[in-house]
Chain A
Amino acid sequence: MGSAFKHKLFGGLRRFAIFLLVVWTVVSLVTLLIELVPGDPAVSVLGEQATPEQFEQFRQKHGLDRPPFFFSFPRDPAGERHFQWHGFENRYTEYWVALLHGDMGRSFRTDRPVVDLILERYPATIQLALAALLIAIVIAIPLGVIAGKNRGSWIDNLASLVALIGISLPGFVIGPLLVYVFAVKLRWLAPSGRFDWTDFILPSFTLGAALSAILTRMVRSSVIEELNEDYVRTARAKGLSETRVVYKHVLKNGLIPVVTILGLQLGVLLAGAIITEKIFGWPGLGLLLVEDGIGKRDYRVVQGCVLVISITYIIANMLTDMIYRWLDPRIRVS
């Protein structure tokens, strides 16, 4: 028992260490990548016409007048590069200190705290991702089960074909096509916006389509595999109805690999949300990142969005991992 506990403890510590490592990397990336911005962020925000005082004021307010990192290799008047130590008065440290106080700086454009901007948009993205997840599950489980139970039949082939189309058609093709059919032609749904529940239908279907295709395939092959197991024969021999065998026994075991895929696909879903939000003008983090951040060169907003999306993804992954362990006792012990 002692060794099992130790194993669990070390496994948990290891995962937490990786989590910290990933967070450290993402924060470092978003703070140091800003150095790669061609030209001066102050110029790209204020424009060429601003006065030197305005530039100075802008740089001071956003901390851009401080050195970017602990050290640098500036050129001396003769053009030679020399190592220079800046100490802790640098932007990298400042970003970390602020971040640990729950502060992500202020938007270069609107001067509002980035944390506020993100908190306003965060729920919309999470709702969209969850709705997409739900749609994917609702489509994939029955379709996969029916296809797997009737392996080789026309319904199996049809399900495989639909899954194939779902996998190869990217969201930015499916989304506008849905807009064309349901908003332009049939006029049943609004082409964009987020006002009532019907506005969820097209975006969440667009985002969930690829996932539901992948899940359908997973559920299908899982069901086929489990149907060959001994316990299925036993259950049938007991006289259980076929529906009960499939939905009570087979599905429960067959869902274990599906849960892993769900976790891995969450990241794809969050990245895909950026595209889906752009298609439907969905006011979430993705739209904030692409339009307010990248589009208007508001690099503080870009930093915050990338950071929050990444961390959401990592946490979702860790949760999946925990659910997976809880579902499958074989992994818990070994």
Chain B
Amino acid sequence: MNRLTIIGLVIVGILVIVAIFAPWIATHDVGATNLSIRYLPPSTQYFFGTDSTGRDIFSRIVFGARISLEVGIVVVSVSAVVGTLLGALAGYYGGWIDRIVSGYVFNVFLAFPGLLLAIAMVAFLGAGLNKLIFALCIIGWVGYARLIRGQVLKVREYDFVQAARALGASDSRILLIHILPNAIQPLIVQASLGMAGAVLSEASLSFLGLGVPPPAPSWGVMIEEARDLSTLQAAPHALIFPGIAIALTVLAFNFIGDGLREYLDPRQRSR
């Protein structure tokens, strides 16, 4: 495993611990506003300083990790399960289901930007964490379905699958026991990159005011609140710390995804 993958794993490990133990790690109440201590610079009492309403930025980032990870985990799991199911069915059986999934859905859904589709859906559904997760899942599953379909088409022709079929194994047995375990490796890579994408999409939509509504400590919301000129002037740290949190998280998941891809595909290792 290369160095960057390990860095990625360490960052994600820290993030998970922070998210799980957030109430114990946070030093202040995330919602408590106090205008008399607004714009304080980082100190031993307020590790990352305070924002324009006097809230502790460190504690908000700690609780923000929960939102980011929750969105990431739910979106990636739901998309991966739905995508795997439909992709496997389409690839294995072919026929009309394949014609709909690969002929229509792949061509159309992959033909325009996912973020725009998410924005459009949330625009009509209204803002909120659950609606945001729903919108990201609707876009997310397509990539997994395409990946798994391709894998199934490849593995289906292998000798051991033909042998299993000759021995009278049922379709579901062949799919679950023989094909899927051999198709799952690239899925893990895709899921890791998908975590980075989901965290980024949540922050982007929350930044636009279409995700988690403002008092919640979403990193995107924190950046949106920190970017007006008077806050930038008085407390640039209110922008910088959540920015670093997003960048490190996205970077970590990308490192893991790239590292896994290299690890699982020996042909790429030498490059």
Q: Point out the residue from B125, B227, B251, B254 that lies within 8 Å of A279, measured CB to CB.
A: B227
Taking CB atoms and an 8 Å cut-off, the chain B residues in 80-131 that contact chain A are: 104, 107-108, 111-116, 119-121, 123-126
Q: Are B226 and A184 in contact (CB under 8 A)?
A: no
A251 at interface by CB-CB < 8 Å:
no
**Given A168-B250, A293-B123, A295-B209, A313–B226 Cβ distance below 8 Å?**
no
A 163-206 to B, binary, CB cutoff 8 A, 1 in contact else 0: 01101111011011101100110000001000000000000000
A319 at interface by CB-CB < 8 Å:
no
Q: Interface with A: B22-30, B36-44, B166-174, B228-236, which one?
A: B228-236
In chain B, what residue has the closest Cβ to A181?
Answer: B236
In chain A, what residue has the closest Cβ to B244?
Answer: A173
| Bound-complex Cα distance A279 to B208 (A) | 9
Contacting residues, chain B, for A309 (C-beta < 8 A): 116
Q: Point out the residue from A36, A184, A302 that lies within 8 Å of B232, measured CB to CB.
A: A184
Taking CB atoms and an 8 Å cut-off, the chain A residues in 134-173 that contact chain B are: 164-165, 167-170, 172-173
Q: Are B239 and A29 in contact (CB under 8 A)?
A: no
| Bound-complex Cα distance A279 to B240 (A) | 16
What total of chain B residues lie within 8 Å of the partner, measured CB to CB? 41
The CB with the most chain A CB atoms within 10 A, among B126, B200, B227, B233, is that of B227
Taking CB atoms and an 8 Å cut-off, the chain A residues in 274-314 that contact chain B are: 274-275, 278-279, 289-290, 293-295, 299, 302, 306, 309-310, 313-314
B198 at interface by CB-CB < 8 Å:
no
Contacting residues, chain A, for B227 (C-beta < 8 A): 172, 175-176, 179, 279
Contacting residues, chain A, for B144 (C-beta < 8 A): none
The CB with the most chain A CB atoms within 10 A, among B204, B233, B240, is that of B204
B220 at interface by CB-CB < 8 Å:
yes
Q: Are B204 and A18 in contact (CB under 8 A)?
A: no
Taking CB atoms and an 8 Å cut-off, the chain A residues in 25-48 that contact chain B are: 25-26, 29-30, 33-34, 36-38
Contacting residues, chain A, for B247 (C-beta < 8 A): 165, 168-170, 173
Contacting residues, chain B, for A271 (C-beta < 8 A): 113-116, 119
Q: Are A170 and B239 in contact (CB under 8 A)?
A: no
Q: How close is A42's CB to chain B, nearest CB, in angstroms?
A: 15
Contacting residues, chain A, for B191 (C-beta < 8 A): none
B203 at interface by CB-CB < 8 Å:
yes
Contacting residues, chain A, for B208 (C-beta < 8 A): 274-275, 278, 290
Taking CB atoms and an 8 Å cut-off, the chain A residues in 79-125 that contact chain B are: none
Q: Point out the residue from A18, A34, A177, A299 that lies within 8 Å of B243, measured CB to CB.
A: A177
Q: Point out the residue from B113, B126, B223, B233 that lies within 8 Å of A173, measured CB to CB.
A: B223
Q: How close is B190's CB to chain A, nearest CB, in angstroms?
A: 17
| Bound-complex Cα distance A118 to B250 (A) | 34
Contacting residues, chain A, for B12 (C-beta < 8 A): none
A322 at interface by CB-CB < 8 Å:
no
| Bound-complex Cα distance A180 to B224 (A) | 14
B207 at interface by CB-CB < 8 Å:
yes
Q: Point out the residue from B112, B119, B209, B226 that lies within 8 Å of A26, measured CB to CB.
A: B112
Q: Point out the residue from B113, B121, B124, B204 that lies within 8 Å of A270, measured CB to CB.
A: B113
Q: Are A274 and B119 in contact (CB under 8 A)?
A: yes
| Bound-complex Cα distance A176 to B246 (A) | 14
Contacting residues, chain B, for A302 (C-beta < 8 A): 120, 123-124
Q: Are B116 and A294 in contact (CB under 8 A)?
A: no
Q: Point out the residue from A36, A191, A267, A294 that lies within 8 Å of B112, measured CB to CB.
A: A267
Q: Point out the residue from B120, B126, B251 that lies within 8 Å of A29, measured CB to CB.
A: B120
**Given A22-B108, A25-B108, A37-B124, A164–B251 Cβ distance below 8 Å?**
yes
Q: Are A191 and B229 in contact (CB under 8 A)?
A: yes
A317 at interface by CB-CB < 8 Å:
yes
Q: Are A170 and B204 in contact (CB under 8 A)?
A: yes
B210 at interface by CB-CB < 8 Å:
yes
Contacting residues, chain B, for A21 (C-beta < 8 A): 104, 107-108
| Bound-complex Cα distance A173 to B220 (A) | 9
| Bound-complex Cα distance A268 to B112 (A) | 9
| Bound-complex Cα distance A294 to B121 (A) | 11
| Bound-complex Cα distance A195 to B146 (A) | 45
In chain A, what residue has the closest Cβ to B116?
Answer: A271
**Given A169-B243, A289-B119, A22–B203 Cβ distance below 8 Å?**
no
Q: How close is B262's CB to chain A, nearest CB, in angstroms?
A: 14
Contacting residues, chain B, for A290 (C-beta < 8 A): 119, 208-209
| Bound-complex Cα distance A309 to B250 (A) | 26
Q: Are B124 and A36 in contact (CB under 8 A)?
A: yes
Taking CB atoms and an 8 Å cut-off, the chain B residues in 125-182 that contact chain A are: 125-126
Q: How close is B157's CB to chain A, nearest CB, in angstroms?
A: 23
Contacting residues, chain B, for A274 (C-beta < 8 A): 115-116, 119, 208
Q: Are B204 and A317 in contact (CB under 8 A)?
A: no
Given pairs A168-B248, A168-B251, A170-B250, 16 additional interface contacts (CB within 8 A): A18-B107, A22-B112, A38-B125, A170-B200, A173-B239, A176-B226, A176-B243, A180-B232, A183-B229, A184-B229, A271-B114, A272-B115, A274-B208, A289-B119, A306-B116, A309-B116
Cβ contacts A to B, 26 pairs, < 8 Å: A21-B107, A22-B111, A29-B120, A36-B124, A36-B125, A165-B247, A168-B250, A170-B200, A170-B203, A170-B250, A172-B220, A176-B223, A176-B227, A180-B232, A180-B236, A183-B229, A184-B233, A267-B112, A268-B113, A271-B114, A271-B119, A278-B207, A294-B123, A302-B120, A313-B116, A314-B111
